[in-house]
Amino acid sequence: MPIATADLKALARDMRVDVIRMIEAAGSGHPGGSLSVIDLLAVLYWKFLKHDPKNPDWPDRDRLILSKGHACPALYTVMAYRGYFPKERLMTLRKLGSPLQGHPDRLRLPGIEFSSGSLGQGLSVGLGMTISAKMDKAPWKTYVVLGDGELQEGQCWEALMAAPKFKLDNLVAIVDHNNGQIDGPVDWVMGIEPLEDKLRSFNWDVRSVDGHDLAAIEDAFARTQECADKPHAIVAKTIKGKGVSFMENDIAWHGSAPKKDDADKAVEDIRHG
Amino acid sequence: MAKATRESFGETILEAAADNPRLVVLDADLSKSTMTQAFMKKYPARHLELGIAEQNMIGVAAGLALSGKVPVLASFACFLIGRLENIRISAAYNKTNMKLVGTHAGIGIGEDGTSQMGLEDMAAMRALPNMVVLQPADHEETRQAVYWMLAHEGPVYLRLTRQKMADLHGPDYKWGFNKIDVVFEPAKKPAKYLATIVASGGPVPHAVSAAKELEKKGFAVRVANASTLSPFDGEAVARFAKDSQRLVTVEDHNVNGGLGSAVCEAACERGAPVPVVRLGLREFAESATPEELYEKYGLTAAAVAEACLKNLG
């Protein structure tokens, strides 16, 4: 029985609380981009990814790479809620010996497909996985979640150029387009617009979606099935810090952890949002 | 028969592919130079041409490896090491089972000049945890090293020459991973060698010529071939340090971070009180014939012999 969208929305709210609390406990981390990407990850992990939390190496699983690795608090939370590991472990984020590294580490945490954090590399790795699946005529898909600032890396465009050559219709790239990065708005740091036109001109199948509207996200993923022979890109318009009013669109919360009083306020905000 | 180690590599992957369906080869518009063309023609479905985009090629190889393939990517050594961050994360940190083959090592490439010469690649690769660094010196050694590399689980960097390399080992040679092998001993074993030369890659034959010349003049010099640069056979270095008045290292690479550094580190770490003379590059090179460059930058037999004899003051 697939989860109802209203129930997933409630779960996403709970998970936002965990994201805030784990970053607070860690004393460092990236709340802004974690809160912008979490709805996308929720839809993927509950509605689309074929995976088995009890058997993370299942050969026919779909692969997901969080190329914007700094948003891993969102990924860890989603994984904990899906049963990859106990939720209590979320509070060990960034602590000595924890599998929950500051950026995802595949050798420390089963279920992580690629140790990311050095921006720009994930899409190429996703291409390699997808090519391998094509070679084996295997049924699984690869999903790669990228940041919009990340697209400033030249390697992304090498990968964007290469994917259509191999007709990778089993590859889905999702851009968390929150228009914020460390030094300021993406438009100001190094603009990437018109993004959808760029991707289309690179021969991708492209869709835009409100990255916080769960039903719309679900529809966008579902419609990737309609187009064969091309890799798929979903540009998700998101809000950095989404769900916490004082964090929303404030670049200061890209990479700083809330102290207790701010965290309490944030949790309150999420609960009443 | 003399053969460039890149040619030996190309022949070996072609041969290995028949029994290894997981083997996939990737190129970045240099397959004619990296010698993967024969593989590409025979196994087009297992060859990926990725264009002049090495960063992406490295990532694609990582993705293939994480999905159970054994990807072998090839380019010039200098173009691979230019993407060190990609190699650091996609290959070394992720411990992916991918093989990076850097051809056109050193000044031995000649006329194309400095921008095409891999001169710092070993230094960078040796600094990466999980990365095995290999540099065979002739056909037989390359063949066995390639088979070992394909069977080894984890990232490997294989450094190869553009120029032809004379046979150093016979067909009975058994290559050993992380074993420095002695390729020349003087007829009469001395109580103390004038020098032990530790060489790697392109200049190994010159080191052997130097030792032979010195033997004619009454000097006992041994030549050892280091084909595994990381990890490193420091125990062999410690043994040489005990029975040699000096060690001489010879490499077609910058002296910093490559073989010369590895030998110094191994000797110092084991408290071996032996001087080490390092031959190799200390600056960028230039265009000329390989022979002229070996002459100018001190990698000839004469230069090696002089390093064995010169007063260390």
Domain that includes residue A18, residue range = 5-272
Alpha-carbon distance A195 to A174, whole Å?
Answer: 12
Cβ–Cβ contact A160 with B under 8 A: no
Q: Per-residue pLDDT for B171 more than 90? A: no
With CB atoms and an 8 Å threshold, state whether A162 touches B56.
yes
Which band of pLDDT confidence, cut at 50, 70 and 90, is reported for residue A189?
A: very high
Q: What is the DSSP letter of B297?
A: T
- Tell me the pairing of strands A205-210 and A232-237: parallel
Q: Do B27 and B138 fall within a single domain? A: yes
Q: What is the CATH number of the domain that holds B22?
A: 3.40.50.970
Q: Do B37 and B185 fall within a single domain? A: no
Q: Do B132 and B189 fall within a single domain? A: no
Domain that includes residue B210, residue range = 181-309
Q: Is the ipTM of this complex over 0.95?
A: yes
Alpha-carbon distance A204 to A161, whole Å?
Answer: 9
Q: Do B138 and B287 fall within a single domain? A: no
The pLDDT value recorded for residue A228 is: 87
The pLDDT value recorded for residue B297 is: 98
Q: What count of other Cβ atoms lies within 10 Å of the Cβ of residue B82? A: 18
Give the pLDDT mean for A252-270. 96
Query: Domain end: B165, B199, B228, which one?
Result: B165
Q: Per-residue pLDDT for A273 more than 80? A: no
DSSP A201-213: HTT-EEEEEETT-
Question: Could you tell me which chain B residue has the CA closest to the CA of A112?
Answer: B94
Query: Domain end: B108, B131, B165, which one?
Result: B165
Alpha-carbon distance B94 to B259, whole Å?
Answer: 26
Preferred mutation among A103, A146, A155, A165 to probe B, highest tally of B CBs within 10 A: A155
Residue located via tokens 């090293």: B145
Question: Could you tell me which chain B residue has the CA closest to the CA of A166?
Answer: B48
- Whether the CB-CB separation of A60 and A140 falls below 8 Å is answered with yes
Cis-peptide, bond into residue B231, ω within 30° of zero = yes
Residues of B with Cβ-Cβ distance to A115 under 8 angstroms: 89, 93-94
Cβ–Cβ contact A154 with B under 8 A: yes
Residue located via tokens 């009443």: A272
Alpha-carbon distance B285 to A14, whole Å?
Answer: 61
Give the pLDDT mean for B241-264. 98
Which band of pLDDT confidence, cut at 50, 70 and 90, is reported for residue A227?
A: confident
Q: What is the CATH number of the domain that holds A225?
A: 3.40.50.970
Which sign does the torsion angle of CA B85, A201, B30, B140 carry? positive
Active-site positions of B? 54
Q: Per-residue pLDDT for B56 more than 70? A: yes
- Whether the CB-CB separation of A102 and A94 falls below 8 Å is answered with yes
Q: Do B187 and B300 fall within a single domain? A: yes
Nearest to B55 among A59, A128, A158 (CB): A158
Q: How far is B60 from chain A (nearest CA, A)?
A: 4
Query: Domain end: B107, B131, B165, which one?
Result: B165
Whether B173 is in a domain gets the answer no
Nearest to B94 among A59, A114, A158 (CB): A114
Of B211, B195, B185, B222, residue with least CA distance to B310: B195
Q: Do B141 and B199 fall within a single domain? A: no
Q: What is the CATH number of the domain that holds B261?
A: 3.40.50.920
**pLDDT, mean over chain A:** 97
Whether B174 is in a domain gets the answer no
Q: Do B57 and B117 fall within a single domain? A: yes
Quick one: how far is CA B204 from the chain centroid? 10
The pLDDT value recorded for residue A1 is: 67
> Buried (b) or exposed (e) across A232-263, using 16+ Cβ within 10 A?
bbbbbbbbbbbbbeebbeebebbbebbeeebb
Q: How far apart are the first and last CA of chain A?
A: 28
With CB atoms and an 8 Å threshold, state whether B60 touches A118.
no
Q: Do B279 and B222 fall within a single domain? A: yes
Condensed to tens digits (0 to 9), the pLDDT of residues B10-38 reads 999 999 999 999 999 999 999 999 999 99
What's the pTM?
0.97
With CB atoms and an 8 Å threshold, state whether A117 touches B89.
yes
Beta-strand ranges (E) seen in chain A are 63-66, 142-147, 171-177, 180-181, 184-185, 205-210, 232-237
Q: Do B104 and B187 fall within a single domain? A: no
Cβ–Cβ contact A114 with B under 8 A: yes
A3 burial via Cβ count (<10 Å: 0-12, 13-18, 19+) = middle
Condensed to tens digits (0 to 9), the pLDDT of residues A24-57 reads 999 999 999 999 999 999 999 999 999 999 999 9
Whether B175 is in a domain gets the answer no
Which band of pLDDT confidence, cut at 50, 70 and 90, is reported for residue A235?
A: very high
Cβ–Cβ contact A32 with B under 8 A: no
Residues 69-88 of A with CB under 8 A from B: none
Quick one: how far is CA A269 from the chain centroid? 23
- Whether the CB-CB separation of B254 and B200 falls below 8 Å is answered with no
Which band of pLDDT confidence, cut at 50, 70 and 90, is reported for residue A2?
A: confident
Q: How far is B155 from chain A (nearest CA, A)?
A: 15
Of B157, B160, B95, residue with least CA distance to B126: B157
Q: Per-residue pLDDT for B120 more than 70? A: yes
Here the tokens at position B218 are 């009454």
C-alpha distances out from residue A49 to A44, A52, B2, B61, Å = 6, 9, 54, 23
Q: Do B185 and B161 fall within a single domain? A: no
Cβ–Cβ contact B311 with A under 8 A: no
Q: Per-residue pLDDT for A132 more than 70? A: yes
Whether B57 is in a domain gets the answer yes
**Number of separate domains in chain B:** 2
**Number of separate domains in chain A:** 1
Whether B172 is in a domain gets the answer no
Q: Do B192 and B246 fall within a single domain? A: yes
